[in-house]
A = this chain, B = another copy of it.
Amino acid sequence: MTYEAMDVQENLLRNDAEILEDTVTAFRSGSNMPARKRLYPVSPCDSCAAHKKAICSSLEGQALDRFRTKGRTRIIKVGEPLFFESEDIRYFYTVISGEVRLCNILEDGRRQVVGFRSCGDKVGEHFGGKYLYDAEAVCDTIVCQFPVRELEMQMQQSPEMRAKLMKIMQEEISELQQHTILLGRKTPIEKIATFLKNRASKLNLVGEENIEISLSMGRSDIADYLGLTVETVSRTISKLKAEKVIDVPSAHAVVVRDIQQLAVLADGKK
């Protein structure tokens, strides 16, 4: 079994399956199903791993309930698209589990992965008419899908949601600017080290030893994210392994043995 399959399955076992079940039945049955509803008195959002980080966390009570009923949970298989660049914007998404890559493509096929989105992250624009990138699942992925007009409606009513969305946009800008210096000025070692360091720090395990990072995406996604070729990604990971900074138990998992050294390498201090 692959690591990403394990990931998805584990998540499914924990709570996504219930959320999904819940949501799907809710939609199938329409809104008027009090008996069924009493069986699920707890909002699915309460048990959702993505909720506290996601946009919907800015809503509460009735507003949240209303918003939820406008959404739909979807399973996206590896490689399948959520939407394509320059398609009309109709929905935006919150990733529940799995991971999505955002890509820009040049006519001759060259590709740049603009970013990855995982649990709790927003995918998709809500402004300007057209999407800015292709969004595709890098492994089996579960998302919540909401119509953008619903978002706009909520935004008018909820200052909290406005603030949340602005915060998310600001974080996107900050992340893109950081990525800009990586792409323009860093060496392959620094790029890979930065990438792994950032993934590690997302797990909130700072201070711990042997942090295990799962890489749901393939080498070519990493390459296109860091502005490298697959070969260079592979060689560089091998180098870090040889220097005992990381272990690579499988192609889709990395164990950070020396996070200190990884951080040093990430900014080229050595």
Interface residues of A in 82-132 (CB under 8 A from B): 104, 106-108, 110-112, 114, 125, 127-128, 132
- Convert A161-186 into 0s and 1s, putting 1 for each residue whose CB lies closer than 8 angstroms to a CB of B: 01001110110111011111101111
Contact call A267/B184, Cβ cutoff below 8 A = no
A108 and B269 in contact, given A173-B176, A176-B173, A177-B114 (Cβ under 8 angstroms)? yes
Copies of this polypeptide in the complex: 2
Report if A44 contacts B (CB, 8 A).
no
CB of A158, distance to nearest CB on chain B (Å): 12
Which B residues lie within 8 Å of A114 (CB)? Answer: 177, 180-181
> Complex Cα distance A133/B173, Å?
11
Determine the residue in chain B with the shortest Cβ distance to A108: B268
How big is the A interface, by class? 35 or more
CB of A19, distance to nearest CB on chain B (Å): 29
Report if A224 contacts B (CB, 8 A).
yes
Report if A147 contacts B (CB, 8 A).
no
Determine the residue in chain B with the shortest Cβ distance to A178: B104
> Complex Cα distance A170/B169, Å?
8
Which B residues lie within 8 Å of A176 (CB)? Answer: 173, 176-177, 180
- Convert A207-225 into 0s and 1s, putting 1 for each residue whose CB lies closer than 8 angstroms to a CB of B: 0000000000000000010
Report if A81 contacts B (CB, 8 A).
no
CB of A230, distance to nearest CB on chain B (Å): 14
Report if A227 contacts B (CB, 8 A).
yes
Determine the residue in chain B with the shortest Cβ distance to A172: B173
Which B residues lie within 8 Å of A224 (CB)? Answer: 184
Contact call A185/B227, Cβ cutoff below 8 A = yes
Which B residues lie within 8 Å of A128 (CB)? Answer: 167, 170, 174
A173 and B179 in contact, given A110-B185, A185-B227 (Cβ under 8 angstroms)? no
> Complex Cα distance A227/B182, Å?
10
Contact call B177/A180, Cβ cutoff below 8 A = no
Determine the residue in chain B with the shortest Cβ distance to A224: B184
Contact call B267/A185, Cβ cutoff below 8 A = no
Known: A112-B184, A183-B184. 17 other contacts (CB 8 A): A104-B178, A104-B181, A106-B186, A112-B181, A114-B177, A125-B170, A127-B170, A128-B170, A133-B177, A156-B159, A162-B162, A165-B166, A166-B169, A169-B173, A172-B173, A176-B177, A184-B224
Pairs A–B under 8 Å by Cβ, sample size 5: A106-B268, A108-B268, A169-B169, A176-B180, A183-B184
